[in-house]
Amino acid sequence: MIDQTFLHCPGVGPKTENRLKTLGFLCWQDCLARPEELPFSDSRKEQFLAVIQASLTALQKQDLAYLTTCLPPREHWRILAQHFSEATFFDIETTGLSSYDSFTTVISAYHQQKLYTFVYEENLADFLQLVDQSKLLVAFNGNSFDIPFLENSFNIPAIGCPHIDLRWIFYHQGYRGGLKVIEKQLGLHRPAAIHHVDGHEAVLLFERWQRGDSGARLKLIRYCQTDVLTTYLTAGLLLQKMGFNYPLPTAEDLFALTDNS
């Protein structure tokens, strides 16, 4: 899948890509096998092949860092499709939008079919150890919010793991409006207990928790966990719609993993 796009090469747009496909170049190996047939001038061909070669090497080495940066966001669905079962889905809750004056309260992650939760003043920094074991991080709006927020919060120059943003993958497939809207569009329903909870409420829950309300703490954690599980499910459902038949657990089974006490 990943090697079936040429849009990451400089100067190659949809038109050129179509042309290449018509000429029978369906993947990177095809170009490398028959370079003389490429419809480019010599200098352009040299540039093109260099990028193709680098991409192939990266693919063979599973260098996701290279691939996530050089493939345009529109083609990131390929990376998601290729590595869906190995990806680590995560979501964070915070006390505000700016990492300059807010901090992280809960991080939840779905990794290798297990649900992990990291809580403020308990084990929040352990998330970084999970990141060390991850091959690919996936979050909804992660590139704009979660990743920079965590980098600032943990005072690290970079999160240290390749990452893709589900929001833009959805966007390019025609799904817009935020995670909860997309959930509904894909037929997903959240558990009743946290159905109405949103980002603003998450801040209020934290404040109640800090004032001694342990019920608020539980609710906040369940909310975060639900968010990450729906992130995973919607991603899987999208891929199914695109024709990939990955087995997915049911929503009920997944939501059962969330904390009860």
Partner 1 sequence: MKKLKNFIDTRFEDNIKAYKKLEEQAGSFSNFPETLHPDINTELNRQGITQLYSHQREAFDSISQNRDTLLVSQTASGKTLSFFLPILNEYLNADAPFSVLLLYPTKALSRDQESTFGGLMSVVKKSGRLGTFDGDTPRDERVRIQRTSDFLITNPDMLHGGILPNHNRKWKDFLSRLRYIVIDEVHIYRGSFGSHVSNVFRRLLRVCGIHASHPIFICSSATVGNPKEHVKALFNRGFHIISKDGAPRPERELYFMNPSLAQSHGHALYRKGPASISIPLLREAARRKIRTICFCRSRQEVERLHRAVTDGSASLKKQIKPYRGGLLPNERRKLERDLVQGRITAIISTNALELGIDIGDLELCVLSGHPGTVASFWQQAGRVGRKEKPATVVYIAKDNPIDQYLVNHPGFITETPVEQALLNADNPYIFLQHLPCMAHEHPLREQEPGLVPAVYDTALEILKSDRTVVPYHDTFRYALQDYPARGVNLRGMTDYNIEIYCGTEVIGELDPIGARGTLYKDAIYQHLGRRYMSMELDLEKKLCRVEPVDVDYYTEAHWEGRIEMTEREEQKLLQGAQLDFGYIYYNKQPKLYKKIRERSYENIGYGPITLSAFEYDTTGFSLLPPADWEKAMEVFDKRCIGAGLHGLSYLLRHTAPSLCMAATSDIATDVSLIEVAHQSWKSALFMFDAVEGGVGYAEKIFEKINICLQLCFEILEKCDCSAGCPSCVPPLPPGIADDELEALLIESNASVECTRSLLTMLREGSIIIPQIQSVALSANQTIQAPEPDYAAIKMKEKLQRASKILKKKRERLH
Extract the tokens encoding 238: 């999208």
Give whichever of 42 and 101 is closer to partner 1, judged by the CB atom.
101
Least Å from the CB of residue 155 to partner 1:
4
Applying CB under 8 A, among 1, 128, 130, 257 the residue interacting with partner 1 is 128
Strand pairing of 137-139 and 88-94? parallel
Applying CB under 8 A, among 4, 153, 185, 210 the residue interacting with partner 1 is 153
156 binds partner 1 (CB under 8 A): yes
Stretch that binds partner 1, among 109-117, 125-133, 178-186, 247-255 (CB under 8 A): 125-133
- Please state, in angstroms and rounded to a whole number, the distance separating the CA atoms of residues 205 and 1: 43
145 binds partner 1 (CB under 8 A): no
Applying CB under 8 A, among 35, 160, 191, 249 the residue interacting with partner 1 is 160
Applying CB under 8 A, among 125, 181, 204, 256 the residue interacting with partner 1 is 125
Instruction: Name the helix (H) or strand (E) containing 87.
Output: none
DSSP lists the bridge partners of residue 106 as 93, 119
154 binds partner 1 (CB under 8 A): yes
Least Å from the CB of residue 157 to partner 1:
6
From residue 244, alpha-carbon distances to 59, 81, 104, 146 in Å are 20, 8, 35, 28
CA 145 to chain centre: 12
DSSP lists the bridge partners of residue 111 as 88, 114
Question: Are 99 and 153 within 8 A, CB to CB?
Answer: yes
Q: Which residues contact partner 1 (rule: CB under 8 A)?
A: 103, 125, 128, 132, 153-157, 160
